[in-house]
Amino acid sequence: MDLINDMFSTNLKYESLLGDKEDSIEKNESYYIGMTNHLMKQIPKQYYNKCLHEFLTKFQELQDSEKQTIYELLNVPEKEKIVYREKIVYREKKKQKPKLSLDDY
């Protein structure tokens, strides 16, 4: 029963707080998710923006599929490609040669 209580305890301890138990913990995806949730609870709301900024500094190193997942989570619309076409509104008329008047006999 103690083992089950330890697994579901609300007092999560990570990294330096673990002491000798640190080596016995398997560091997989769920470990890092739990560690991140634990850190988020400790961060005051006024510093959340700065912490998020630090996490996103390595965003460019992610694969495209991982980036797309984050875009969907944040509801970022797809970037539209804008194509500019140059349209000629007026054209200069060609200079015509003056017409000769042949009525002078």
Domain that holds residue 67: 2-73
Q: Which residue has tokens 């083992």?
A: 3
Q: What is the DSSP letter of 74?
A: T
Q: Residue 97: inside a domain, yes or no?
A: no
Q: Residue 62: inside a domain, yes or no?
A: yes
Q: Residue 81: inside a domain, yes or no?
A: no
Closest to 39 measured CA to CA, from 19, 16, 20: 16
**pLDDT per residue of the chain (105 residues) written in tens, 0 to 9:** 566 656 665 555 555 555 556 667 778 888 888 888 898 888 888 988 888 888 889 888 999 999 999 889 888 888 888 888 888 777 777 777 777 777 665
Q: Residue 15: inside a domain, yes or no?
A: yes
Distance of CA 50 to the CA centre of its chain: 15
pTM of model > 0.85? no
Q: Residue 82: inside a domain, yes or no?
A: no
Q: Residue 80: inside a domain, yes or no?
A: no
Q: Are residues 15 and 35 in contact, defined by beta-carbon separation less than 8 angstroms?
A: yes
Count of the separate structural domains present in the chain: 1
